[in-house]
A and B are shown apart, each in its own frame.
Chain A
């Protein structure tokens, strides 16, 4: 039920979402998708929670929701990421997540965005070495 869809079909579902949106939102989603791939060639596309495009690399980098008035990129661990360019403009009160709302006509600071994507990947890789589990029940003892 909450299983992520297989890679190929996830990418196809994201293609479909871009096509279904059709307007500037589809173009925006396609644009950020291209930027994410440019920033991290090893990125994995996923489709989670019955309808949300997700980009991952050893954990979620960001999600790509589409609203009526905005395309929203939610970084689940955004609060822990450096954002000197001030890209985050939404969910600023979140204790873990941060989001970027892109409205019609907004210009994306591509260099800063790609840097942010890479920082999110680095954070995921750092967390991988001592991966936080959703529950303590499954935690394996650390290797000596």
Chain B
């Protein structure tokens, strides 16, 4: 069964580099704002800390994850080697998938996991456009 959908990278290859750059920065800025906010929230807001407890995570993991998010978003926007950015993208991917699994595991409805789902979409757009700006080398 051959997929009729062109690969995202191929679609992006036909769009102008400027459009890709704009797409990348909008998606990445929104993504970093969300990650920055959640990092702040889980370090400083009791509600967010209680949420982590409810999902079954220990306190030290909440702190570790928050600082990992801060490091990751700095790497995404800073002019650092591509390999480092790959690591940050990988970390965020694991983070987002784990967040969704955690919500499903405690039986949360869509209103609770929509935030993580939307952030995942931003992750995909940011990553695909970044790879495209890199010249799409695998």
Contacts and interface: CB of A to CB of B under 8 A. Distances in A.
A and B physically associate: yes
Interface of A: 1-4, 48-52, 60, 63, 65-67, 72, 74, 76, 91, 94-97, 133-135, 137-138
B111 A51 contact: yes
A63 B54 contact: yes
Contacts of A63: 54
A49 B46 contact: no
Nearest to A95: B58
Contacts of B47: 2-4, 48-49
B61 to A, nearest CB: 11
Contacts of A135: 43-44
Interface of B is mostly: helix
Interface of A is mostly: loop
A97 B50 CA distance: 10
Interface size class for chain B? Answer: 20 to 34
A133 to B, nearest CB: 8
Interface stretch (B6-14, B17-25, B83-91, B101-109): B101-109
Interface centre among A3, A67, A135 (most CB of B within 10 A): A135
Given A3-B47, A95-B58, A96-B53, A49 B107 contact: no
16 contacts: A2-B48, A3-B47, A48-B51, A50-B108, A52-B108, A60-B50, A63-B54, A66-B107, A76-B50, A76-B54, A96-B53, A133-B46, A134-B42, A134-B46, A134-B49, A135-B43
B44 A138 contact: yes
A131 B31 CA distance: 33
B114 to A, nearest CB: 8
B100 to A, nearest CB: 14
Given A4-B47, A50-B112, A76 B53 contact: yes
Contacts of B56: 91, 94, 97
